[in-house]
Structure 1
Amino acid sequence: MTADSSASATLYDVEIGALKGGPADLAQYAGKAVLVVNVASKCGLTPQYTGLERLHERYADQGFTVLGVPCNQFLGQEPGSAEEIAEFCSATYGVTFPLTEKVEVNGEARHPLYERLIGFADAEGHTGDIRWNFEKFLIGRDGKVVARFSPQTEPEAAEVVAAVEAQLAG
């Protein structure tokens, strides 16, 4: 899929597995705002799980969720099995938001979910490949990308919160 056609496509028909098995069924998020984040357990940015969980808890009852997408493409920082990832996220950070299966976000084996995401530019104009763990994409209630945030942008940064609140208000 080209970046041009991805602008009109939604994410609801992308097939991706859930971390604990079975399909993640992205169609369940139709009508919700979703922050899609490629996550890793052994990264310098891993403490962002705390902010992601707080953001998820703060807005869940308003139609928002974080969707964590484990990825091991950046210096092997997500080496664990599905069970190890789930245990780490739950025990270390109290994560309650959904997690998908581990996927590749860059390269020839890039997951179709990320094929749909990478054409969207962040505030600095970056499009294309995911730069590192914890790059964030905000999906609007209509299933289309509305914002992209760099890996270093904290989940509770003013610009992320403002973008989430704008989607929930609309």
Structure 2
Amino acid sequence: MKIYDFEVSTANGKTLDLKEFKNRPVLVVNTATKCGLAPQFEGLEKLHQQYKDDGLVVLGFPCNQFAGQEPESNDTMAETCKLNHGVTFTLTQKINVNGKETHPLFKYLKQRLPGTLGKRIKWNFTKFLIGPNGEPYKRYAPTTSPEKIEKDIQQLLK
């Protein structure tokens, strides 16, 4: 199984087949607009702008499971991220990353790359870098800044 076996719904409700990203590295991040780590949106956008032409895909997966820090609706979330943080990378509809209703992509990622809490997501802005082969490459803690991921992205783009 690879990430290409999954589909997600974008913030505007369109189906996005992850097969579209074959042979490209993908950075998957669970996000929240009201989180203290929300300034990371700017760093994620910077990575998106700097490496999108080389093939990098950044996908934000808004989640309201951590202290209710994603109160926006699917309709207003993307606009809020654009206005407040300059986000132009793709955002999905709100999902769950833990519990019975965990999105299938996150079940897969947590199984392949467990973190300090095992197969649970600790907090908003947990990041997964996927290699161009569709295999999960590395998991990063919520507090890991996007800038600290850049070397790994450069490695995968070679």
TM-score range, shorter chain: over 0.9
- The Cα shift of 1:24 comes to 1.8
Q: Where do 5+ consecutive residues of structure 2 fail to align? A: none
What residue is the counterpart of 1:114 in the other structure?
Answer: 106
d(CA) in 2 for partners of 1:119 and 1:126?
12
d(CA) in 1 for partners of 2:118 and 2:111?
5
Do 1:120 and 1:148's aligned partners in 2 also have CA atoms closer than 8 Å?
no
Does the alignment pair 1:166 with 2:152? no
TM-score, with normalisation over the residues of structure 2?
A: 0.95
Q: Residues 17-54 of structure 1, C-alpha deviation per residue, up to 9 Å, x if partnerless?
A: 11111202211111110100000000000000000000
- The Cα shift of 1:119 comes to 2.1
Mark the CA change 1:76 to 1:125 in structure 2 (over 3 Å): closer, same or farther: closer
d(CA) in 2 for partners of 1:127 and 1:146?
17
Q: Residues 111-153 of structure 1, C-alpha deviation per residue, up to 9 Å, x if partnerless?
A: 101011002447x766410000000000111111000000000
Do 2:110 and 2:121's aligned partners in 1 also have CA atoms closer than 8 Å?
yes
Q: What SS class does the counterpart of residue 96 from structure 1 fall into?
A: coil
What residue is the counterpart of 2:57 in the other structure?
Answer: 65
Does the alignment pair 1:156 with 2:147? yes
RMSD (Å), alpha carbons: 1.3
Do 1:133 and 1:151's aligned partners in 2 also have CA atoms closer than 8 Å?
yes
- The Cα shift of 1:15 comes to 2.3
Among all aligned residue pairs of Structure 1 and Structure 2, give the percentage whose two residues are the same amino acid.
Answer: 46
Q: What SS class does the counterpart of residue 118 from structure 1 fall into?
A: helix
What residue is the counterpart of 1:5 in the other structure?
Answer: none
Mark the CA change 1:97 to 1:67 in structure 2 (over 3 Å): closer, same or farther: same
Q: Where do 5+ consecutive residues of structure 1 fail to align? A: 1-8
Does the alignment pair 1:134 with 2:120? no
Work out which of the residue numbers 101, 118, 131 in structure 1 matches 2:93.
101
Q: What SS class does the counterpart of residue 45 from structure 2 fall into?
A: helix
Do 1:138 and 1:146's aligned partners in 2 also have CA atoms closer than 8 Å?
yes
What residue is the counterpart of 2:44 in the other structure?
Answer: 52
What residue is the counterpart of 1:4 in the other structure?
Answer: none
Which of 83-92 and 36-45 deviates more? Answer: 83-92
Which of 113-122 and 36-45 deviates more? Answer: 113-122
d(CA) in 2 for partners of 1:67 and 1:153?
17
Do 2:25 and 2:55's aligned partners in 1 also have CA atoms closer than 8 Å?
yes
Residues matched between the structures, number:
158
